[in-house]
Chains A and B, each alone.
Chain A
């Protein structure tokens, strides 16, 4: 028996609407949201198991005729990112519920974001992609303001303005693609794009790239990222860096790699250049920062550069490396953002694990991400890029070592005021659990490797 694709999506959506009527600061509301999200995740897992056994499948929501209704399609790539995003959201939500939710709408917003992220990973239609994208983004705008302190509001404002700009560009690009091809169905688009004129297609591709670049925090679209990540609460920072950032990675892979491969190839030099700039800029900025959250924010900029480089390398190996790196990076950042406000001996261990993973030291999961990027670069045979990656990797060693060494994680000297309100044992257990996952995936990376290979195959397999 296979589960309908619409079930998890609808569950998250209706749970979000339902919870919006209640005060999310109450414990039961928080736990209800956790339960709803966990069920959504389980449903998605069930779909994933089914897809793994019997291949990708699609469904038109609500029984509408095709081309009119919302077409959902589940393949390995979409499901990988869907599972990743939902897991991160679940962990962050539980963390916040345990620490004590302080804003009315938080649980509902997380569920709304889950709907958006799940939907955009499962949709097969570019316009619906945009709709789900906006659902996720609108929840993110509100979430960044969570905390209501002036600097959080400032961060939220920056985030809102920059990302609205990105959304507008994306919408223009979609309109342009529709004008060029007469369809927004991804499968049809992939067939028709190669026969349209080059220049308009390149222009649309550029707009899409800019839109996702902003989401990912790529250089030179990064300027919003540090302020937002530092200003907001740990759970929100984890959501932004572990879940929302997937829009960027997934979008670039799905639309760049799956729909516009020709344009992607033509733009490869630019991607290399921007990726290089991101890696170096993020790494150097991270070294110069003192606040661990700032270090992590700039590290995210640097890590986004790796994804870009993989994308530019392209091919199955490049895409698989991009997926693997995106997944490990999201998990690492979730762990670190959740754990930096805490203190204690186990926290020290978890921070070390996270830092080792970001720096790519085995046996943490990040090592496999880094190794995969190295492997695709070596296979590509470009010594300049390889040198760059080595330099970027060395930078990540330095800033992570500095971050771990700079504070006494075990006893808790020098903890700022915003961070001290989540000093609960349960939050440490959750963060510790993520650390165990990071180590576990490092010791037994087979699932990650299989998943990323399957995702890359699914992406390549769609090409006409």
Chain B
């Protein structure tokens, strides 16, 4: 199989799928879904093949080099090392998951949606493969447009604002990067007389210190926006909140990794001196980002926003691990990147699960899901603990290694990073508690709860609606009629807050600290309300910014499709948490090469 362009195959399979959807006249929704699924599944399989055939003791492999613009010294050069091969596998897996996830949640302009997703996949894969700065830049820009479209067309209420913000931040960063690419090219040409943009060749160049300082800064700007590093992060919460679930997952799990990857691939090997000069500032900014992201995540009322800010915090570990210049740091950064891909990807999918059912992401609208949706809650617990960094799960390995590496670099800095573990546990577990435990909105307090006052106990109906916690109704929880009839059979009235005597609303907390103070949309009168605010279009949400009337008692637990998409991520987060050695091993030659000048 030598000489077979396996990298190009992986990169362009999704593109082929996109072209197929584009050129089939009047393509139906189902056909486009199947083509997208087929293309991404095939890509995933080939990328697994790549992963298994990868030689763990060597550096760049599977290189493909074709001269493209000889006059400029541009060649089509692809190649992967251990870092890239892992990120490629992550990309193909998450793209496949995103496509399966979108199967019945996206019904608006479906063919275009899958074209954008597949183009995005090609762009991302190309970024991880390119060894020529020019090719890299093309793929970098290529992936930007479909992502902006995914946010801007299939996002929620404020999507255009978020898409423009995302687009402009990234474009401005990449503009500076273009200048830096051109400058490096010119400088190398002036020194050696060779026109080339190949990274492996440019590494041999001897660049002046001031030159390095500025060029490094320009590259760094592009990657810091992508990471995103404090203070370049402000586009991320908007983009995440507005993006459709699948795009959020890809954005968090793959696109943020491009920043870290870019730093490892270009900034460190090309401009060592500047990396040293800039390192203190970057370390400080990383720590600020870690703490700031965690603190801001604490106060978020919106689940997606909370996870977005937690991403800022986690990705701070990546830049920190890279710029302490030791093996633990780099290992840790790589592990954080992968773990963040699994965990945050999983968390965004889980938010998507309840968003599908409730059409809101406000934490205050939920409660008591543990009894309603046990499988959901179990997955949620797993990814939450992994994200916090519970030992034995993937999040722990990376953050621990980074902290170790940081200790070697500067113990004071390491102390700060340890401190964030408390914040991470705080914001994550608090959200988990509010959503999964406590009492569902409108659910009656437990009569056996000793904390109830006498008045409240009197106000309770004599019989507890024992059937209300079962799952029934249609499988997607969108139908109103059967639910209504079923629930009323037990209580004689719909189990909603509105149907209860007014003086007992709100109920006191029982079985937890859960309370539901903000329920402005709850109708005050006794008129019947639909059990679920049925929305024909899953991507539009009028309820996104105000807690809506949610009726968790009618929600089905995870469907097969949802469980299927979450399962591989859960397995990966456990496996890499318990036994991360293969991942560290596969990256070792690459890390040694990167670190060689720093030791």
Q: Which of A362, A405, A446, A450: most chain B CB closer than 10 A?
A: A362
Say yes or no for B71: interface residue by CB 8 A criterion: yes
Say yes or no for B141: interface residue by CB 8 A criterion: yes
- Verify B175–A371 contact, CB threshold 8 A: no
- Verify B183–A362 contact, CB threshold 8 A: no
Closest to B180 in A: A378
Residues of B within 8 A of A370 (CB): 178
- Verify A446–B69 contact, CB threshold 8 A: yes
Q: Which of B141, B145, B152: most chain A CB closer than 10 A?
A: B141
Of B164-172, B232-240, B470-478, B489-497, the stretch lying at the interface with chain A is: B164-172
Q: Which of A352, A356, A374, A398: most chain B CB closer than 10 A?
A: A374
Residues of A within 8 A of B182 (CB): 371, 374-375, 378
Given the complex of chains A and B, what is the CA–CA distance between A434 and B160 in angstroms?
Answer: 29
Given the complex of chains A and B, what is the CA–CA distance between A450 and B69 in angstroms?
Answer: 11
Closest to A398 in B: B168
Residues of A within 8 A of B164 (CB): 401, 405
Say yes or no for A390: interface residue by CB 8 A criterion: yes
Given the complex of chains A and B, what is the CA–CA distance between A356 and B138 in angstroms?
Answer: 12
- Verify A361–B141 contact, CB threshold 8 A: yes
Interface residues of B (CB under 8 A from A): 69, 71-72, 137-138, 141-142, 145, 152, 160, 164, 167-168, 171-172, 175-176, 178-179, 182-183, 185-186
Closest to B72 in A: A449
Report A440-464 residues with CB < 8 Å from chain B CB: 445-446, 449-450, 453
- Verify A375–B175 contact, CB threshold 8 A: no
Q: Please list 20 pairs of residues, one from A and one from B, whose beta carbons are closer than 8 Å in the complex, sorted by A's number.
A: A356-B145, A361-B171, A362-B137, A362-B142, A363-B142, A370-B178, A374-B178, A374-B179, A374-B182, A375-B182, A375-B186, A393-B175, A394-B171, A394-B172, A397-B168, A397-B171, A397-B172, A398-B168, A445-B69, A449-B71
Say yes or no for A379: interface residue by CB 8 A criterion: yes
For the A-B complex, the count of residue pairs with Cβ-Cβ distances under 8 Å equals: 56
Closest to A379 in B: B186
Given the complex of chains A and B, what is the CA–CA distance between A356 and B167 in angstroms?
Answer: 12
If the complex has contacts A362-B138, A378-B182, are A397 and B69 also in contact, measured as CB distance less than 8 A? no
Say yes or no for A103: interface residue by CB 8 A criterion: no
Say yes or no for A98: interface residue by CB 8 A criterion: no
Residues of B within 8 A of A356 (CB): 145
Closest to A402 in B: B164
Whole-angstrom distance between the Cβ of A297 and the nearest chain B Cβ: 23
Residues of A within 8 A of B141 (CB): 361-362
- Interface class of chain A by DSSP: helix
- Verify A378–B186 contact, CB threshold 8 A: yes
Given the complex of chains A and B, what is the CA–CA distance between A357 and B90 in angstroms?
Answer: 32
Chain A 348-361: CB-based contact to B (< 8 A → 1; otherwise 0) = 00001000100101
Say yes or no for A386: interface residue by CB 8 A criterion: yes
Given the complex of chains A and B, what is the CA–CA distance between A363 and B69 in angstroms?
Answer: 14
Given the complex of chains A and B, what is the CA–CA distance between A449 and B68 in angstroms?
Answer: 13
Whole-angstrom distance between the Cβ of B66 and the nearest chain A Cβ: 13
Given the complex of chains A and B, what is the CA–CA distance between A453 and B69 in angstroms?
Answer: 14
Whole-angstrom distance between the Cβ of B189 and the nearest chain A Cβ: 9
Residues of A within 8 A of B171 (CB): 359, 361, 394, 397
Given the complex of chains A and B, what is the CA–CA distance between A370 and B71 in angstroms?
Answer: 17
- Verify A390–B71 contact, CB threshold 8 A: no
- Verify A405–B175 contact, CB threshold 8 A: no
Given the complex of chains A and B, what is the CA–CA distance between A136 and B332 in angstroms?
Answer: 67
Given the complex of chains A and B, what is the CA–CA distance between A445 and B176 in angstroms?
Answer: 22
Chain A 375-401: CB-based contact to B (< 8 A → 1; otherwise 0) = 100110000001001100110011001
Given the complex of chains A and B, what is the CA–CA distance between A352 and B186 in angstroms?
Answer: 31
Cβ contact of B160, chosen from A359, A374, A405, cutoff 8 A:
A405
Closest to A449 in B: B71
A370-B178, A405-B152, A450-B71 are known; give 8 further A-B pairs, CB within 8 A.
A374-B178, A378-B179, A378-B182, A379-B186, A390-B175, A393-B175, A394-B172, A449-B71
